[in-house]
Structure 1
Amino acid sequence: MLNNRLALLLVTAITPMLWGTTYLVTTELLPPHRPLLAAVIRALPAGLLLIAITRKLPQGVWWWRSLVLGTLNIGAFFALLFVGAYRLPGGVAATVGAIQPLVVMMLSTGLLKERLSTRKVLAAIAGVFGVSLLVLRADARLDMVGVLAAVGGAVVMALGVVLSKRWTSPAPLLATTGWQLVAGGLVLLPVAYLVEGGLPAHLTLANLGGYAYLTIIGSALAYALWFRGLRALGPTDVTFLGLLSPVVATLLGWLVLDQRLSTAQLIGGLIVLVALVTAQLRRRPTKPATATPALIPATAGRC
């Protein structure tokens, strides 16, 4: 059973690692200053693709539940994420977003009746500290709107993660994932049009390749693995894995863009990994005390 859980964690960890690659794809391959368009293209086509594959639509309460979960996990989250990223200096939004495991733990105690673990709380705090060392810059200045957007993004996705565990869909995983991606994309579509306008007049092959990567790898595959992990594991265990995203983004910046890694960043990355491992540890079940067999009276069984 332990091996099965470890395998599920490793497979689910692929998702935040894939999300970590989207930073490089966005900055190097996509048109500049069109983050909401990227979010729509990342969500809506991926959702339609999964629905076409599964050929299954929501039924009953899952029409509105898909809308709620898609808005929280994708639509509202992406919008707030990009507002925070644009209004805050590099690293601040990621550091604020690292509070998500703490928020998930608090929500899980109320909505899922999970016990709050001191070890996991300390691991979550260490994770925030590690991410701050990894991505935060000394000259970073705070913008209140940006901070509120980053906090809001962490909260709405945390709520979406917990509700995804509370509301288990009877439909196949790919279908449920597709419903949420479509719902999130439709919520984002009018916002993107009002803020950024229509499609760019010219798209290069690099642009198209970047959008295709975000749609197929960054969303369809990544979210399917993410929601699969949520079905089988606890929401707190899964959300801790999200701390891998800034780690992967930083490593790719070093490997691909020749960005330097400072000693503080290396220490931060190590702290994040230790926090992840600590959060996933399980207490060994205590062996029940061997009961002393009761003495059977000599008259037992006699009439």
Structure 2
Amino acid sequence: MYLKLTESRLPFASLLLIAPFFFWGTAMVAMKGVIPNTTPLFMAGVRLVPAGFLILAAAVWMGRPQPQGWKAWLWITLFGLVDGALFQGFLAEGLVRTGAGLGSVMIDSQPIAVALLAWWLFGEKIGLIGGLGLMVGVGGISLIGLPDEWVLNALTGDVSSISGSVQQLFNSGEWLMLLAALSMAVGTVLVRFVCRYADPVSATGWHMIVGGLPLFALSGALETEQWVHIDLAGWSAIAYATLFGSAIAYGLFFYFASSGSLTSLSSLTFLTPVFALLFGNLILNEVLSPIQWSGVGLTLISIYLINQRDTLAQKLRLRPAPVKDLSPEDPELTPITKC
């Protein structure tokens, strides 16, 4: 089942689906401004633990059940270590060592890994048009984040200058962003297994707490002066990243990931660098080049192709790719969709 916004029971479903990526993109802008005045592991922990308690409070208010049994806690712990500690830790450390644009490209390559894992584990197929959409999306975020001279040199066939700077590229921290992307991709898939045994909202809150505590422990052991130089504007930025960039964004993302198409949902991640660049321009006066604006356009096209792949295939009289039905009527997946 693809993500069908018009059939969602939630109000303003289209806006809710886009909201996590809007909050993540703008949270990157907020984090970029405060990082010079704090330490990465501390900031990563602050993004997770308070947000986890907020989600748990919302779960209690909504009457959602708490995890029960060792299997539930085992999956939540694994989920927390991968999607919480590893993802946020790699993201924060990578943000110190690399530019926000190129780092965003590395992180937002994760839909490719999600698509492959969803195909292997759940039988989700993206088909010809979906695959084209993924390739267009990767091209779009590459135009957004890669240096313009790299793109121009590649178009003219001059790859010598590019190959000579690849080693410098990965020494500057981009590999940490790649590890963050892989951690997020694995976490997106793990939520399906978590929801076999636990409520998705409660599990999301607990996984953020479980993932954030090791980050605080590492920060206490390895970092100093974590909050000494943070001013009011810095605390406001951290509060925004925690409340909107973590609590609300995570809650919405994993709610949809627990029951919809992982490939379709993760494809919207291509919106994150778009929002980051747009609000970086508005707030930080960062200017987009014509090449980057081309990347924004390709990104939006990729999202349309992936989410409308079945409809487009029928219109073009192509044979639709077989898709694993994730509806509650499927007895094999009923434990997942009921969580």
Question: For 1:114, what is the secondary structure of its paired residue?
Answer: coil
Which shifted more, 88-97 or 20-29?
88-97
Question: TM-score if structure 2 supplies the norm length?
Answer: 0.76
Shift of 1:160: 1.1
Distance 1:83 1:53 in 2: 30
> What are the equivalent positions in structure 2 for 1:24-35 lying under 5 Å apart?
24-29=29-34, 32-35=37-40
Shift of 1:64: 1.3
Instruction: Give CA deviations for 1:202-222 in whole Å, capped at 9, x if unaligned.
Output: 542222222221221111111
Shift of 1:62: 1.3
Shift of 1:116: 4.5
> What are the equivalent positions in structure 2 for 1:60-209 lying under 5 Å apart?
60=69, 61-137=71-147, 138=149, 141-144=168-171, 146-169=173-196, 171-197=198-224, 199-209=226-236
Shift of 1:234: 0.9
**Residue from 266, 269, 287 that aligns with 2:293:** 266
Which shifted more, 114-123 or 28-37?
28-37
Shift of 1:89: 4.2
User: What is the letter of the counterpart of residue 37 of structure 1?
Assistant: F
Q: Is the 8 A contact 2:43 2:92 kept in 1?
A: no
User: What is the letter of the counterpart of residue 268 of structure 2?
Assistant: L
User: What is the letter of the counterpart of residue 242 of structure 2?
Assistant: T
Confirm whether residue 20 of structure 1 aligns to residue 25 of structure 2: yes
Shift of 1:9: 4.9
Distance 2:172 2:217 in 1: 22
Question: For 2:286, what is the secondary structure of its paired residue?
Answer: coil
2:303 matched residue in structure 1: 276
User: What is the letter of the counterpart of residue 59 of structure 1?
Assistant: Q
Shift of 1:189: 1.8
Structure 2: gaps of 5 or more residues: 151-164, 315-339
Distance 1:154 1:113 in 2: 22
1:59 matched residue in structure 2: 68
Instruction: Give CA deviations for 1:154-212 in whole Å, capped at 9, x if unaligned.
Output: 11211111121243256544312211111111232222223323632354222222222
Which shifted more, 271-280 or 78-87?
78-87
1:41 matched residue in structure 2: 46
Which shifted more, 54-63 or 120-129?
54-63
Q: Is the 8 A contact 2:86 2:183 kept in 1?
A: yes
Q: Is the 8 A contact 2:103 2:174 kept in 1?
A: yes
Question: TM-score if structure 1 supplies the norm length?
Answer: 0.84
Which shifted more, 218-227 or 183-192?
183-192
Question: For 2:221, what is the secondary structure of its paired residue?
Answer: helix
Q: Is the 8 A contact 1:161 1:230 kept in 2?
A: yes
Shift of 1:18: 0.5
Cα 1:212–1:33 change in 2 (3 A) is: closer
Distance 1:282 1:120 in 2: 6
Q: Is the 8 A contact 2:75 2:193 kept in 1?
A: no
Distance 2:31 2:237 in 1: 7
2:6 matched residue in structure 1: 3
Question: For 1:188, what is the secondary structure of its paired residue?
Answer: helix
> What are the equivalent positions in structure 2 for 1:193-232 lying under 5 Å apart?
193-197=220-224, 199-232=226-259
Q: Is the 8 A contact 1:90 1:136 kept in 2?
A: no
Q: Is the 8 A contact 2:48 2:246 kept in 1?
A: yes
Distance 1:28 1:98 in 2: 21
Larger radius of gyration: 1
Question: For 1:199, what is the secondary structure of its paired residue?
Answer: coil
1:289 matched residue in structure 2: none
Distance 1:279 1:202 in 2: 44
Q: Is the 8 A contact 1:134 1:269 kept in 2?
A: yes
Cα 1:90–1:231 change in 2 (3 A) is: closer
Alignment length, in residue pairs? 286
